[in-house]
């Protein structure tokens, strides 16, 4: 599914995970801290929460090497 389709269907979490996986594959280890910081701030981000089609909190576990 394309990123736009995921976002338009309220699956912003899946779209974001696609992007995270892409960055981790292309740049192993380089952006781990930045990705962790971004994920850590999502619960308090009203814009992000408004885009989500899933009403419950989704917890993302990211193993950083």
64 within some domain: no
62 within some domain: no
Provide the pLDDT for residue 14.
Answer: 87
9 within some domain: yes
Provide the pLDDT for residue 23.
Answer: 93
12 within some domain: yes
One digit per residue, pLDDT tens: the chain, 65 residues? 788 898 888 888 888 889 999 999 999 989 989 988 888 888 888 888 887 765 545 555 555 54
Provide the pLDDT for residue 12.
Answer: 84
37 within some domain: yes
| Residue-number span of the structural domain to which 24 is assigned | 3-51
7 within some domain: yes
Considering its fold, how many domains does the chain have in total? Answer: 1
57 within some domain: no
Provide the pLDDT for residue 63.
Answer: 55
Contact predicate 13/21, CB 8 Å: no
Provide the pLDDT for residue 45.
Answer: 85
Q: For residues 50 and 61, what is the distance between their CA atoms, to the nearest angstrom?
A: 21
39 within some domain: yes
């Amino acid at each position: 599914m394309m990123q736009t389709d995921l976002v338009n269907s309220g699956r912003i979490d899946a779209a974001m995970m696609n992007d995270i996986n892409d960055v981790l594959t292309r740049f192993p280890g380089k952006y781990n801290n930045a990705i962790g910081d971004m994920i850590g701030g999502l619960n308090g981000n009203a814009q992000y929460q408004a885009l989500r089609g899933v009403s419950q909190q989704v917890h993302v576990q990211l193993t950083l090497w």
